[in-house]
Amino acid sequence: MPGHCDGMRLDQAAARIFPDFSRARLQSWIKSGALRIDGEPTTQRTKVIAGSVLELHVELEPEVAWSGESLPLDILYEDEHILILNKPPGLVVHPGAGNPSGTLVNALLHHRPSLESLPRAGLVHRIDKETSGLLVVAASLRAHTSLVDQLQQKTMRREYFAIVRGTMTGGGTVKAPIGRHPRLRTKMAVVPRGGKEAVTHYRIAERFRAHTAIDVQLETGRTHQIRVHMAHKNHPLLGDPVYGGRLQFPADASEAVKASLRSFRRQALHARKLTLVHPGEQEEVIFESELATDLMELVAVLRADARRADP
């Protein structure tokens, strides 16, 4: 045990000596007896002494039972530490009961089989099936620990573009806890009691006649957070099949505009910018992606409609 760890709790010292593993994983190994001091099992609160030997006896097994599939991936950046992906709308991220295959994870495991040894195949955050845009994937245990820590410390910045129903008068912040809907268990909702802290910042990007384009930054990452918070503000995302409410047309809209709005059958949401500290270089990096084609076309239709209505 190096001298700088003398007097530390075992879990704190272990986090320094085994930086590739998360604190939670190290604590579980201490509890199971896989992580010992001088061959003796102990507790995470035990104080370590300089010169003692820290022993770790584990065999890393695949974290997932999912299989790789040869599926297309839009990889914007890749190195030994991370992958940055641009997810198209309609692609499920994780395999599940209704989607055992054909997911982003299946494609990742085929592209880089070593990801099977990482929690959730290296994915540290997710976006909904019908949301398009950026995702970061850890390619090593050290990178995974770093990215999870950045999410927990709220230093990873995730910025989105969205189109909401109605014309907003200004930007703002929504601070409203989110949890399961009290009656409809497949939905999330603002839950004053028992919900998890959720904070969403937004600003106006462009106004249309009956809709508003906004830039959104997440401070927390709850399930359906942007969709739930905007619906809570009475400005649900255009096209949202769960929280969107009725379809709204601009006054005297042309049949072409109505047809475009009717045919857009997903939430108008795109993860467009991701800022993080690179786990290897330890420098801040920024990644951006263009809007998905369907969303770009919808913006063009709404913009043209607004211009035609301008006197």
Catalytic residue numbers, as ranges:
128
Which tokens in the block code for residue 40?
């003796």
Report the 10 Å Cβ neighbour count for 299.
19
Which tokens in the block code for residue 29?
């190994």
H/E stretch holding 144 reads: helix 141-152
Distance (Å) of CA 268 to CA 3, 254, 299, 306: 55, 21, 10, 18
Contact in structure between 217 and 158 (CB atoms under 8 Å): yes
Contact in structure between 104 and 93 (CB atoms under 8 Å): yes
With CA atoms as reference, report the closest residue to 298 among 184, 161, 100: 161
User: Looking up tokens 């009961």, which residue turns up?
Assistant: 97
* Calpha distance 274→257 (Å, rounded): 32
